[in-house]
Amino acid sequence: MELRHLEYFLAVADNRSFTEAAKKLHVVQSGVSATIKALERELGAELFVRGSAGVELTPAGEELRPRARETLDAARAAKDAVNATRGSVRGTVTVGILTSISVIDMPAVLAELHTRHPGVTVRLRAASAGSAGLARQLRDGDLDVAFLVFTGPPPADLNARLVAAVPLLLVVPADHPLAQRDSVPLAELEGMSFVDSPPGYGTRTVIDNAFTAAGVERTVVVEVADLGTAATYIRNGLGIGFLSWTILDEIDDFGLATLRVSDYDLEWRLFVTTSAARSTSAATRAVLALIEEIAAR
């Protein structure tokens, strides 16, 4: 058994597909299939149930999965230890990021990282399903680090460090009846149309929870994955919405007005997170340290 066998096994297990695993590994699919068959012969057990809809792990595959990841993590730690004797940090770190989040200056993080640790490569992966999607990828091992928004205490299986807590402001068109107000209670917003991110996104969860707690019905008529574009929909009268100053500072707010919600503290809290079940590499620790340093500025 070689480390390559375990790497290919995890790629198929995580993607539930030989085709997707081959794309991720940058090899031909036949190579992935041959490697998995060799591993199954070595172990004397089938690891996947193959079907027209994809592949599923067998009980043997489920048992192997966490141990394969532990083995690859241990091999990576061994490389880190050898590199440390030469005073160098090397490796690749995959970071999951949220769209329209500029409170953390990632270009500055990457530039400083390249200066201090030129042997570290960072791959940024944008969220396809908000914080919920990134958390799933982090738990599955597809990400080393993820920026997530939590509305309550972070889950116990994730190591999370708060890097920003940002209030949300109600944004309305300049000719809206609320435009001249400084604040408004949630109850007055019942029956109005909203522009918001899809379910599963951190900001959406914060707002949905507040309306549920207040017993106020809310109708989202436009869902946009990139909240940076929400202001355009609001400006054109399709609905009102909640945005943070980090987004408002980056857009032309002509034709918009902002006000506070008077009876609820609406804020999203951004955390930088890693899996508590996996050890972090030296490269990952270097990235985390720089994120915290630049966030503190």
pLDDT at residue 235 in the model: 92
Average pLDDT for 148-166? 88
Highest mean pLDDT among 78-82, 178-182, 199-203: 178-182
Q: Is the pLDDT of residue 250 over 70?
A: no
* C-alpha triplet 144, 148, 153: angle, nearest 5°: 110
Per-residue pLDDT tens over the stretch 183-194 = 999 999 999 999
CB atoms within 10 A of CB 33: 16
Q: 264: which 2 tokens? A: 């609820």
- Judge whether 1-65 and 165-268 match in fold: no
For the chain, what percent of residues have pLDDT higher than 90? 47
pLDDT: is 102 or 131 the higher one?
Answer: 131
pLDDT band, very low/low/confident/very high, at 5 (cuts 50, 70, 90)? very high
Query: What's the whole-number average pLDDT of the chain?
Result: 88
Q: Is the pLDDT of residue 166 over 90?
A: no
pLDDT at residue 215 in the model: 94
pLDDT band, very low/low/confident/very high, at 251 (cuts 50, 70, 90)? low
pLDDT band, very low/low/confident/very high, at 105 (cuts 50, 70, 90)? confident
1-65, CATH topology level: Arc Repressor Mutant, subunit A (1.10.10)
Highest mean pLDDT among 78-82, 117-121, 169-173: 169-173
Alpha helices (H) along 105-160: 106-116, 130-140
Q: Is the pLDDT of residue 265 over 90?
A: no
Q: Is the pLDDT of residue 100 over 70?
A: no
Q: Is the pLDDT of residue 71 over 80?
A: yes
Q: Is the pLDDT of residue 238 over 90?
A: yes
d(CA 95, CA 104): 13
d(CA 154, CA 160): 7
d(CA 159, CA 79): 23
- Which sign does the torsion angle of CA 124, 129, 135, 139 carry? negative
Least confident of 54-58, 102-106, 238-242, 289-293: 102-106
* Class of domain 165-268 as given by CATH: alpha beta
Q: What is the rounded radius of gyration, in angstroms, for the C-alpha atoms of the chain?
A: 23
d(CA 143, CA 274): 8
Query: Residue 195: phi, psi to the nearest 5?
Result: -105, 130
pLDDT at residue 43 in the model: 93
Average pLDDT for 174-179? 93
For the chain, what percent of residues have pLDDT higher than 70? 97
Q: Is the pLDDT of residue 50 over 90?
A: no
Q: Where are the domains of the chain?
A: 1-65, 165-268
